[in-house]
């Protein structure tokens, strides 16, 4: 009985060892997955972007709700967006 139990345990250990050996022999990641990992890991930088805003009025300024004392003209307030523009005599 003891010999039979040891034989079963030995076969079980051999099966586990063979399973580990076979799993190490395979490539776990496909070529596509490896290419994606390489692309994500590559060192790249975004291009530099220069934002130019005028000091008082012009690009990056929008019309304010506050009226200027000169000809009841609306004053400008800084917005930071280049698509907005405002010129004021104030």
**Could you read off the pLDDT tens digit of each residue along the chain, which spans 90 residues?**
888 898 888 999 999 988 888 777 666 677 788 888 888 877 667 677 776 776 766 778 888 887 777 777 788 888 888 888 888 777
Residue 28 is classified by DSSP as -
Which of helix, strand or coil describes residue 62? strand
Domain extents in the chain: 53-90
Distance CA 85, CA 76 (A): 9
DSSP 72: T
Within 8 A by CB and 6+ apart from 55, the residues are: none
């Amino acid at each position: 009985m003891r010999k039979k139990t040891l034989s079963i345990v030995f076969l079980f250990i051999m099966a586990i060892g063979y399973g580990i050996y076979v799993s190490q022999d395979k490539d776990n990641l496909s070529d596509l997955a490896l290419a994606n990992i390489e692309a994500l890991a590559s060192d790249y930088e975004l291009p530099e972007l220069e934002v130019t805003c005028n000091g008082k009025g012009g690009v990056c300024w929008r019309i304010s709700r506050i009226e200027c004392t000169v000809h009841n003209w609306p004053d400008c307030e800084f917005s930071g967006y280049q698509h907005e523009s405002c010129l004021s005599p104030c």
